[in-house]
Structure 1
């Protein structure tokens, strides 16, 4: 069988293909903590690879309502699209072979993409890198975990702060052909309580970029009641979670800085990669 045709992630065809196409399960992604199925989706002569996560395969969490993770993934995509940064692959909520679930366009990783994370010796990162913290590397040794001082990662750090991402691991960063970067796995987002856990703390406390302030200002308007983004998020997250999202955007604009770890919640997810 020939490889499925890759559909440009930003095209209107992607959303229609994902939402209306015939979904065929090809295998299971066993590394995922919840049921994640590798599929192809076909519509009107076109075919693409995708990931389908049925609600029925979600494991219960103590701090998120049961059966809500798929909708949160779609909500993260909607916010990403509203920023204009398009950091999340096209994602829809649809019916599938195992019931309703999230369906997301598969992204091929660029094997020669720039290195985003590293472990280094010493107490300070080299130029072009940002420190995350120290990690045990065996035999009683520690190394400094760093991430690239990359504008794509910095945009993702802002998005994570807005959606309150509780699980930004290194394995959720997908460098794609053409220099694009995508973030995936956004099921544990939009909680009312502050649960930001991420590897992207390198800019903590630093002023937001001018670009980020412009994007957040636009988001503030789009999140007002009756605005486009607010309407799209209605039904995906609760009214209280939508209000909390508005409050996070407002707090970022008021401080003008990247958030810092709060202390009430582990700041870095485990495992980190």
Structure 2
């Protein structure tokens, strides 16, 4: 089986059925992940793809996320992403796997020829239409900047992160899909009831939200009052669902991108 065989372009319906019902054969562990994160090949009938499996049994307890599971928040992030219509999170389900219940997400293979949209760049050579987020230095003391592109796909991801209160939007968590879409991954520390937004995507801070985003937030508010809220309640606490409703209400009222907090680090570490 070649690598290309494991990069199918699947419809959401097919991907979800594959993730829910497919047989998972583990390939190995992602060593940089703080919680147990396993990559595998998942097969159902003649459909084969790669997936990421995060078993609940491999989660380290977090003092500031004492309730629920990281896997449940991963699924909650996907449900919100799907409701927006932006589909910025790969298909994700909660299922039983080789090490028990956990989140199972479609693996995103990035094409080799894509240009990064987030990263450290020489401070004097900021690319056109890029936002400077923070100052930095390389190991020789030369000035660099943590920066990202002024790209509408990233802007949608930044709004999504504000909705789910993502506490860990690193640059490495922003992926190019083979369909030229931008995906965000690793949402286990999201949906906290307190404001904990930490991200590298601060470039639009205080700017007005795009009109289409305001419309999306209006629809999202309606969905949270109905089916989406009920779905989220299967994976989050009632307080977390209520806090999500409040964040959407606040974003709609201000119609602006949020600004970094002055009470805690607004950029995750490491940023990339």
TM-score band, normalised by the shorter chain?
over 0.9
Helix, strand or coil for the counterpart of 1:198? coil
TM-score (ref. length: structure 2):
0.95
Counterpart of 1:177 in 2: which secondary structure? coil
> Once the two structures are superposed, what CA deviation does each residue of 1:232-267 show, in whole Å capped at 9, x if it has no partner?
111111000000000000000001100001211210
**What is the Cα deviation at residue 22 of structure 1?**
1.1
**Matching residue of 1:261:** 260
Q: Which runs of 5+ in 1 are unaligned?
A: none
Q: 1:84 to 1:121 in 2, by over 3 A?
A: same
Q: Distance in 2 between matches of 1:138 and 1:2?
A: 39
Which structure 2 residues correspond to residues 129-168 of structure 1 after superposition, within 5 A?
Answer: 129-168=130-169
Show structure 2 runs of 5+ residues with no match: none
Residue aligned with 2:24, SS: strand
**Other-structure match for 1:77:** 78
Cross-structure match for 1:247: 246
Q: Which runs of 4+ in 1 moved over 4 A?
A: 2-5
When structure 1 is superposed on structure 2, of 257-266 and 160-169 the one drifting more is 257-266
Q: Which of 176-185 and 241-250 deviates more?
A: 176-185
Superposition map of 1:1-273 within 5 A: 1-3=1-3, 4-65=5-66, 68-117=69-118, 118-122=120-124, 125-224=126-225, 227-273=226-272
Q: Structure 1's 73 and 9: CA in aligned 2 closer, same or farther, altered over 3 A?
A: farther
Q: C-alpha separation between the residues in 2 aligned to 1:236 and 1:93?
A: 9
Q: CA RMSD for the aligned pairs?
A: 1.5
Q: Residues 221 and 66 from structure 1, CA distance in 2 versus in 1: closer, same or farther, beyond 3 angstroms? A: closer
Asked whether the equivalents of residues 60 and 66 of structure 1 are also in contact (C-alpha less than 8 Å), the reply is no
For normalisation by structure 1, the TM-score amounts to 0.94
CA contact (8 A) 1:58 1:67 kept: no
In the alignment, the residues of structure 2 paired with residue 6 and residue 142 of structure 1 have an alpha-carbon distance, to the nearest angstrom, of 39
**DSSP-derived class of the 2:93 partner:** strand
Aligned partner of residue 179 in structure 1, secondary structure: coil
Question: What is the CA-CA distance between 1:125 and the residue it aligns to?
Answer: 4.6
Q: 1:72 to 1:189 in 2, by over 3 A?
A: same
Distance in 1 between the 2:27 and 2:140 partners? 42
Residues 7 and 234 (structure 1), Cα distance of their counterparts in 2 relative to 1, 3 Å cut: farther
- Looking at structure 1, the residues matched to 24 and 128 of structure 2 have their Cα atoms a distance apart, in angstroms, of 46
- Contact (CA 8 Å) 2:130, 2:149: kept in 1 or not? yes
Contact 2:207/2:257, CA 8 A, preserved across alignment: yes
Q: Provide the rounded CA distance (Å) in 2 between the counterparts of 1:191 and 1:69.
A: 11
Give the secondary structure class of the aligned counterpart of 1:13: helix
Q: How many angstroms does 1:2 deviate by? A: 4.2
State how far apart, in whole Å, the 2-side matches of 1:84 and 1:132 are: 27
